[in-house]
Amino acid sequence: MLLELSGDLQTHDPTIIKEKGKYYRIQTGPGIPLFVSDNLKEWKEYGHIFNDSPSWVKEKVPLARKNDFWAPDCLFRKGSYRIYYSVSSFGKNTSAIGMCKLSALDLKSKAFTIEDCGPVLCSGEKDDFNAIDAQVCSDGKGQDYLLFGSFWKGLQLVKLNEEGFVQEGADFIHIASRNLIPNSIEGGFIYRRNGMYFLFASHDFCCRGLESTYKIVVGASPSIEGPYYDGEGRPMLQGGGSLLRDGNSFSAFAGPGHNSIFEDEDGKTYIVYHAYDRKKGGRPALQIEEIKWKNDWPYLEE
């Protein structure tokens, strides 16, 4: 069931983290927009992480729009917040995933500092993958992985070193694909629970307003590296994925997708995503729902 939200809810590709009792939301947009909430329901804009594109972006992704960042992910490691973000141009795989480090999420605090660390992974026309839609996930034993991919070869994993960059010599691990032309899968997110890894992903097409066909699917594996299977035993490498939300779920919204997972301090787990508001002409809006579990499998209440 959807939470009742208010305030500034326009969003694409949102993710939420918590610091010192406040909820922070980052998302696709100029400078990586930041929003804040005291209760997860009422949101207001709080600023932008970047004032301009880092100097390396023009060299790696010449066609990227200035100061335009996609699908950020945030986690806390070694005393700072690492934000992974994508730069690209729509429909092309000349792309890059960059990283910056923040001392705090409160941009207005005196202790706030930011350090851009440059590109973590790049792709180009000769590659069979697209270096966007980053999420950093852990195997629970101290090994972080970068989950990434959009269309092309689908979703892949690669090990990161302790500093958050791709581990030298690490193999790419292919974990999900539609095996279609175009291969319409992206926005992957891995969540670990009770020794299982749940891979959430978006199938079909985003960013078409009320014509968007995005839908959220899920599969699971006892290993972070897969293979992942949906609730009916279909491999996600061959198009599998149990449906969680699609455009038929709620009459008021179309094209739900590009989710992240947020676990609050009270133990509740939420799925965070965008969908297109039919009452507002297809405006992309924030959606937050508590994930329920039955027989150790996630589901969403109507």
Determine how many CB atoms are found less than 10 A away from the CB of residue 126.
6
Contact 168, 161 (CB under 8 A): yes
Annotated catalytic, 162? no
CA torsion sign, 15 to 172 to 129 to 229? negative
* Cα(247)–Cα(282) distance, integer angstroms: 12
DSSP letter at 204?
S
* Cα(277)–Cα(253) distance, integer angstroms: 5
* Cα(14)–Cα(205) distance, integer angstroms: 17
Token reading at 111: 């202790």
Determine how many CB atoms are found less than 10 A away from the CB of residue 283.
15
Go through the chain and tell me how many residues it has: 302
* Cα(182)–Cα(185) distance, integer angstroms: 9
Annotated catalytic, 4? no
Contact 45, 35 (CB under 8 A): yes
Q: Which of 106, 116, 186, 289 is catalytic?
A: 186
Q: Which of 13, 73, 204, 230 is catalytic?
A: 13
Amino acid making up residue 42: E
Token reading at 67: 């100061």
114 forms beta bridges with: 102
Q: Which residues are catalytically annotated?
A: 13, 186
